[in-house]
Structure 1
């Protein structure tokens, strides 16, 4: 569900918070105040996050020591669902253990090589895209800095099927990933070219080669949003840097309305969850 994509230039593209608002509609992403925080001095590599707060409370964990900084948060809407909360807590613990182990190993290697070590940083921030009667759609902004020339930024997404009590991908609701791609490719490419032209200062002439060709929209991070809080009527595509253009262009975040082509690609059992958008 989580993809750390290529390097993202700070400030390039539409900020994720605004994109989530575009997919979710005004007021659809509730406040995500921190409910827990932790800081730790250097300790065991497999340190465990702070105890989880009660169900229904947003969670934010922050750890900082000589080896790494770690931030992980998720909203109250996710914490209110026991199965999803358990998955997020487990994901948090897994990420923290990995970062702690790898950062300490890097610090040891740097010391042995008489090379300066700069603490690593890793962060995941989950936000509500839309909260429907039967579904919770989340997106994540992911940050990782291993002390190199540039940090790596990326996106994550997940859907929680409230009726089935399980996690799904946006693509699972369609006949196939290829069917979703075919349904949105034309408007997606047109909007992507429009955005690329703004940043480049000239029209995009598709050459069939990077960086002027279009890309497979379903190959990037797909999120489902809503403006009526009852149906999925918007599709968001989060495109990482280097996927559709050079590093200097940053990332691209495209929002498309659900139309008849999208509806036709939805699997019959999920069709009632969708409606045409504007």
Structure 2
């Protein structure tokens, strides 16, 4: 194993936020402008703070003719033994799955007489924010399985210090349906603006798979904080093929934490949220 610098830096998130700041004819509201200033959910200084900390606490890479594997997580996660153990277990499972698929495909390639292309899995967890109760992490994942192109996906988690338990952001809400109902309008409007910023028209043909705005709860949700005290920022990661062709790439949609959204939060967590005023 050797030390590897993650292929994605926090500035990639900043690029996404700047992209979403671009305006179309559908101008964003004041609340949405505030939300769009986040780096998904993190305070503006987060990128600089993360860069100043240096390499992540756990950063493993393996590169050979069979696979390329990268898995990293920051020191804030490593400082929580239960979370570090869970991430180490996830890393081992991801590597095992990668090796199994790669060995199977290499055997098939040799049998059929065509070149084998090394499979890869690259995943870097980064700190979104910390509050007295929560540590929020985001991950960008790049995979390649020998086809025409690779794939990008996202992941998310929240560590609840009070319960000493790993959660998903949606666990903090009453239900996926309540979450979707609270943010559907600003989420769908933000998607249209993000697509317009890329020069992509929204496909509204009745028979198009991309005609409808997808449920936000089916995407990757990152929760963040502007002040390190309350959860008041949110970004939703959308992988390729979800709202457009592969060529469009992924999207990071900033959505305001409104009073309506906070009303959808479970009572246990309501005091940890602060809506935009």
- Is the pair's TM-score, using the shorter chain for normalization, greater than 0.5? yes
Give deviations 1:206-259, integer Å, cap 9, x for gaps: 455432321111111111111111111011111111111222221111111211
Residues 111, 273 of structure 1: CA spacing in aligned structure 2 closer, same or farther, 3 A cutoff? same
- Flag the 1:201–1:86 CA change in 2: closer, same or farther, 3 A: closer
Q: Give the match's secondary structure for 1:23.
A: coil
User: Structure 2 vs 1, CA of residues 132 and 66 (structure 1 numbering), >3 Å: closer, same or farther?
Assistant: same
Q: Shift of residue 22 of structure 1?
A: 4.1
Counterpart in 1 of 2:13? 16
Counterparts of 2:15 and 2:229, CA distance in 1: 21
- Alpha-carbon separation, structure 1, partners of 2:198 and 2:209: 16
Q: Which residue in the other structure is 1:167 paired with? A: 166
Distance of 2:234 and 2:243 partners within structure 1: 18
- What is the CA-CA distance between 1:28 and the residue it aligns to? 2.8
- 1:43-82 to 2 correspondence within 5 Å? 58-82=57-81
Deviation string, structure 1 residues 66-95 (Cα, Å, up to 9, x no partner): 201110000001101111000001111111
Alignment-derived partner of residue 215 in structure 2: 216
Once the two structures are superposed, residues 131-163 of structure 1 have per-residue CA deviations (whole angstroms, 9 ceiling, x without a partner) of: 111101111111111111010110000111011
Alignment of 1:25-104 (within 5 A): 25-28=43-46, 30-31=50-51, 33-34=54-55, 58-104=57-103
The 8 Å contact of residues 135 and 160 in structure 1, kept in 2 or not, is answered as yes
- Which consecutive residues of structure 2, in runs of 5 or more, have no partner in the other structure? 1-10, 17-37
Q: How does 1:136-147 map to 2 (within 5 A)?
A: 136-147=135-146
- How many corresponding residue pairs? 242
Question: Compared with structure 1, are the counterparts of its residues 81 and 111 closer, same or farther at alpha carbon in structure 2 (3 Å cutoff)?
Answer: same
Segments of structure 1 that go 5 or more residues without pairing to the other structure are: 1-13, 36-57
Aligned residues: CA RMSD: 2.0
How far residue 100 of structure 1 moved from its aligned partner, in angstroms, is 1.5
Partners of 2:134 and 2:161 within 8 A in 1 = yes
Structure-2 separation of matches of 1:18 and 1:159 = 23
1:24-49: CA deviation from partner (whole Å, max 9, x where unpaired): 012235246436xxxxxxxxxxxxxx
Please state which structure has a larger fraction of its residues in helix: 2
